[in-house]
Amino acid sequence: MTPLGGSITAIICATVSLMLFLLVHTADIDDRDGAPDLIKAIRYRLPWLRHVFADGGYAGRLVKWASDKTQITLEIICRGPHAKGFGVLPRRWVVERTFALTFKNRCLVRDYEQLTEVAETLITIAASATLIRRWS
């Protein structure tokens, strides 16, 4: 059990905004440093997954590492070099919509949890509720 001092949530979701995998880690771990744990976990739990879209913050050595160690192609979605101001990025809206659907639950409005496991469980319950609402 890992005590939280704030948390970072990383998710893998399908293009229809359904959460496939979730990893919560403490805020003292940078997103890029926590990404290998996430990629290894999805390789184990979702062996059929071959292509992942990622934010520009994950560019660099992680792309080669993911390809070499896990056979997952990591495609980085970045703003164009001449882009100014706000612009909708392709595929980025999928993750943002998944977070919006999941985190609109009252228990997730604030991060009060003391353990990463509790945070993961509450987010999983919220994502399950979203899935059930979509089926009905």
pLDDT tens by residue, 61-72: 999 999 999 999
68 burial type by CB count under 10 A (0-12 exposed, 13-18 middle, 19+ buried): exposed
Topology of the domain comprising 7-135: Nucleotidyltransferase; domain 5 (3.30.420)
Please state the pTM of the whole predicted model.
0.75
pLDDT value of position 108 = 64
pLDDT value of position 69 = 92
Cα 118 to chain centroid, rounded:
17
The SS3 of residue 62 is: helix
102's CB contacts (< 8 A; 6+ apart) are 19, 108, 123, 126, 127, 130
pLDDT value of position 106 = 63
Q: Where are the chain's structural domains? A: 7-135
Mean pLDDT computed over 105-111: 63
Above pLDDT 70, what percent of the chain? 87
50's CB contacts (< 8 A; 6+ apart) are 71, 72, 73
The residue with tokens 């059930």 is 132
pLDDT value of position 109 = 60
Winning range, highest mean pLDDT, from 14-18, 46-50, 99-103: 46-50
CA–CA dist 42, 35 (Å, integer): 11
